[in-house]
Amino acid sequence: MKVFEQFYMKIEDDRNREQFIEMLEWVHDAFPSLEPVYKWNQPMFTENGTFIVSFNTAKKHFSVAPEFKGIESFKKRAESLGYQTSKMFIKIGWDQKVDYEFLTDIIEFNREDKKGSLTFWRKK
C-alpha cells in the first residue's frame, strides 16, 4: 500500500516487513470502505472521518490500536491468543501468527460502535 510505504520501509527485517504489509493489505481488502491514512507517524484506517484502527511497530512486535474501548472489549480474547495487551495496544510478536478473525471482530466492533460518530476519537 503506497500510502504507508514511508512507514513500512523502515522495518529492517524483510520477513517482518512482509508480514506487516500483508496485514495492512488484508485490512484494505477485507474492509474496502475504510480509508487508509498515515497520521501521527502510523498507518491507520478511518471510516467517515472517524478513527477505526491503527498499527505500529517495535523491535519484537507490532501493535494493533483500536482505542481503549476496543482493548477493554477484546483483552481476554487477545491474551488467550498469546498476545500481550496494554492500556492502548494489543501487541503481536513478529513470531506469532496473525489471527485475522480476531482482527475482523475488533474492526467490526469499532465500525459498529462508532457508527454515526462526528468525532475522530471516542469521547472520554
CATH number at residue 48: 3.90.1150.200
Domain count along the chain: 1
Residue 119 lies in a domain: no
Residue 31 lies in a domain: yes
Residue 81 cell numbers, joined:
491468543
Residue 124 lies in a domain: no
What is the spatial distance between Cα 52 and Cα 70, in angstroms, rounded to a whole number? 10
Q: Does 105 score more than 90 pLDDT?
A: yes
Q: Residue 54's domain spans which residues?
A: 2-113
CB 21 within 8 A of CB 8: yes
What is the spatial distance between Cα 114 and Cα 17, in angstroms, rounded to a whole number? 30
pLDDT (tens digit, 9 = 90+) per residue, 6-60? 999 999 999 999 999 999 999 999 999 999 999 999 999 999 999 999 999 999 9
The model's pTM: 0.94
Average pLDDT of the chain to the nearest whole number: 95
Q: Does 111 score more than 90 pLDDT?
A: yes
Residue 72 lies in a domain: yes
Residue 91 lies in a domain: yes
